[in-house]
Amino acid sequence: MTTIEAHAPSAAHTGAPLARVADWVTTTDHKKIGRLYLATSAVAMLGALVVAALVALERIDAKTVTLPIESLTQLFSTYRFGLTFVVALPLLVGAGIAVVPLQLGARSLAFPRLAATGYWAWLVGSGLAIVAICANGGPNGGNKRFVDLFTLGAVVAIVGLVASIVALAASVLTARAPGMNMRRVPFFSWSILVMSLGLLVALPILVGDLLVLFAAHKYPSVSELSGNRAISSWASFGFTQPTTILFVIPVFGFLADAVATATHQRLKPRGAILAAIGLMLTAVFGAAVQAPVVIRTHFRGLSGGQKVSDLLPYALVHVLPLLGAFLALALVAAGLRAKPTVTAPLVFGLFAALLAVLGTAGGALNHIGDAGLVGTTFEEGAWLALMYAVVLATMGAVAHWGPKWWGRLLPLKATLPLALLGFLGAVLASVPMMIAGFADQPGAIFPAVEKGVDGVVKFNYSGPHALWNTLSFIGHALVLLTALAFLALAVRSFAKGERAGDDPWNGQTLEWATTSPAPQDNFADLHIVASAEPLLDLKTNRSDA
């Protein structure tokens, strides 16, 4: 049996507006489900970036609290939860759902209804969680009922994402075109599979912990799991490194596809690049242990056995993903020696990969006890680098594959500077937080709330703390500006952009073998694949003839 379905032409193309809405709500077309994810999380991204800028603004003055003190906790929770599970991960899942079946030469996503159900569950769950945070719920919130609502909302949202991720992984494993073995799977689809397998372990563990915390909070007892503070301490592994390193794995897959397309050459060594991307999967062990894997302080004074017991897990959870990220970037960047055509997707992908390596390295450094960075803003800086890597890569993915979704190109001249602006903003937002971490600026904003309105002491260290936090604020503002401008360009392109040909980038993989935009069933015929670059084979054969 197979769940790949052939669809009748959509009635919505000729129907009334209501029929169009119904068509989108009940759609099983993977391109529409993917675009629903992308559009919703893009809107959420604007909100999350405003909140990120507000949090950064609040930190500029280290002594006083400008915003209402009771709302600080909510802002911080919205910032962390929102950027992780309402923006970054859904952006990637949306891009994956919209692109992967096209790359695989499949007519549909595996389990399209499961993916669609996952989207709606994520939307409802995220909405409930954000509403709960706004109503003084969420981690460290003061309203008990809304803290419970946040936990349940987060569970529903993450379960929804897991459902969509199951459909993605099953597609890569079972819906490939004839002849496309796993070595011939396009880089982006491969990286989506690696990420999916990692998240299918990490996210259910987080769901389990959230369920425990919900029970402990709803029925308070003498337990270390009870109370609103327990949520941020026991579930924090899901919102930080190394779990979030899993999110950036597709960044390298996208960059590899963008470089191969821009250089019009087969990217080699293919096996090594696939292996490097796969190596990043070891970050999943960090989520599996549900606690930070650190090298203890005073490491030199430890016995040999203690050193080994610290170093082995650390190497598995932090060093191997960093090695994978570095190797993937180095191997793919080596392909740039073939003089690429400079395109917006390539530049977005390159900057995103640099940020991803920075964030992964930051995650590794943060867990060395003697570095003294635990509990500081250094962790937040590394996390921001990873989240903004995902944001930039998704912008690149929209610029790259947009023609297959709506048949039009984004203007290159206007999009290219946005990649630079976004990268500058991401670096400014994250790196000063890392530097401030070395100066012991506390990572959480909660100490301010604990002190109360009178005599608030947020943090105190010698050094230009106002400079680091001002730079971070400017960085968030620049990323917000980039996101706004990119969305405006995308909407304009959707309405009246330059029409794209079927193969506007002179691509190598199967998505460029169908029309722009791709029809509902993607391909009129199923194609036989004889290499990892089937279109390049065809073009080479033609020129030879």
* Residue ranges in contact with another protein by CB under 8 A: 1-4, 110-111, 114, 162, 166-167, 169-170, 173-179, 200-209, 211-212, 215-216, 219-226, 288-290, 502-503, 510, 512-515, 525-529, 534-535, 538-539
Token representation of residue 23: 């068509």
Q: Report the C-alpha gap between 201 and 209 in whole angstroms.
A: 13
Residue 98 or 536 with smaller CB distance to another protein: 536
Do 48 and 79 touch, CB atoms closer than 8 A? yes
Q: How far is the CB of 166 from another protein (least distance, A)?
A: 5
Q: How far is the CB of 537 from another protein (least distance, A)?
A: 9
Burial class (CB in 10 A: 0-12, 13-18, 19+), 464: middle
Residue 116 gets which letter from DSSP? H
Q: How far is CA 424 from CA 255, 264, 480, in A?
A: 19, 28, 12
Q: How far is the CB of 404 from another protein (least distance, A)?
A: 12
Q: Rounded to a whole number, what is the distance in angstroms from the first to the last CA of the chain?
A: 41
Q: Which residue shows structure tokens 């968030």?
A: 476
Residue 64 or 221 with smaller CB distance to another protein: 221
- Give the residue from 183, 189, 329 showing the smallest Cα distance to 270: 183
Q: How far is the CB of 232 from another protein (least distance, A)?
A: 16
Q: How far is CA 24 from CA 37, 241, 351, 465, 467, in A?
A: 12, 35, 33, 48, 47
Residue 376 or 508 with smaller CB distance to another protein: 508
DSSP secondary structure string for all residues of 234-253? HSGGGGSTTGGGGGGHHHHH
Q: How far is the CB of 104 from another protein (least distance, A)?
A: 11
Q: How far is the CB of 352 from another protein (least distance, A)?
A: 27
Residue 97 or 114 with smaller CB distance to another protein: 114
Specify the long-range contacts of residues 77-81, CB closer than 8 Å, at least 24 apart. Answer: 77/133, 77/138, 77/139, 77/140, 77/141, 77/150, 77/232, 78/48, 78/51, 78/130, 78/133, 78/134, 78/138, 79/48, 79/51, 79/52, 79/55, 80/239, 81/129, 81/133, 81/138, 81/139, 81/154, 81/239
Residue 9 or 220 with smaller CB distance to another protein: 220
Q: How far is the CB of 538 from another protein (least distance, A)?
A: 6
Q: How far is the CB of 381 from another protein (least distance, A)?
A: 28
Q: How far is the CB of 122 from another protein (least distance, A)?
A: 15
Residue 163 or 449 with smaller CB distance to another protein: 163
Q: How far is the CB of 526 from another protein (least distance, A)?
A: 5
Residue 209 or 379 with smaller CB distance to another protein: 209
Phi, psi of 368 (to 5 degrees): -95, 115
CB atoms within 10 A of CB 312: 11
Q: How far is the CB of 503 from another protein (least distance, A)?
A: 7
User: Rg (Cα) of the chain, in Å, rounded?
Assistant: 23
Q: Report the C-alpha gap between 262 and 323 in whole angstroms.
A: 25
Residue 136 or 514 with smaller CB distance to another protein: 514
Residue 185 or 206 with smaller CB distance to another protein: 206
Residue 286 or 437 with smaller CB distance to another protein: 286
Do 125 and 62 touch, CB atoms closer than 8 A? no
Q: How far is the CB of 197 from another protein (least distance, A)?
A: 8
Residue 69 or 200 with smaller CB distance to another protein: 200
Q: Which residues of 70-99 are buried (b: 16+ CB within 10 A; e: fewer)?
A: ebbbbbbbbbbbbbbbbbbbbbbbbbbbbb
DSSP secondary structure string for all residues of 6-45? PPPPPGGGTS-HHHHHHHHHT---HHHHHHHHHHHHHHHH
Grouping H, G, I as helix, E, B as strand and the rest as coil, residue 295 is strand
Residue 491 or 526 with smaller CB distance to another protein: 526
